[in-house]
A and B are shown apart, each in its own frame.
Chain A
Amino acid sequence: MPKARVYVTLKKSVFDPQGKTIQDALRSMGYSDVEDVRQGKYFELALAGSLDAARARIEEIARRVLSNPVIESFRVEVEP
Chain B
Amino acid sequence: MMTIGVVVFPGSNSDHDAYHVAKHVCGQNARFVWHKDEDVSGLDALILPGGFAYGDYLRTGAIARFSPVMKSVAEFARRGGPVLGICNGFQVLQEAGLLPGAMLRNRGVKFLSQPVHVRVERVDTPFTCGLTAGDVLTMPIAHGEGNFYLPDAELDRLEAEGRVVFRYTQRDGRLAEAANPNGSARAIAGVCNEGRNVVGLMPHPERAAEPELGSADGRKLFEAVIRALVSV
Contact = CB atoms under 8 A, between A and B. Distances in A.
Nearest to B106: A17
Nearest to B154: A70
Contacts, number: 34
A17 B147 CA distance: 10
B151 A17 contact: no
Given A14-B149, A17-B147, A17-B183, A68 B62 contact: yes
A66 B105 contact: no
Interface residues of A, number: 13
Chain B interface secondary structure, helix, strand, loop or mixed? loop
B104 A14 contact: yes
Contacts of A16: 104
B58 A66 contact: yes
Given A65-B58, A65-B62, A66-B58, A71 B105 contact: no
A40 to B, nearest CB: 12
Interface of B: 58-59, 62, 66, 94-95, 101-102, 104-109, 147, 149-151, 183
11 contacts: A10-B104, A14-B149, A16-B104, A17-B104, A18-B105, A21-B109, A65-B58, A68-B59, A70-B101, A70-B149, A71-B102
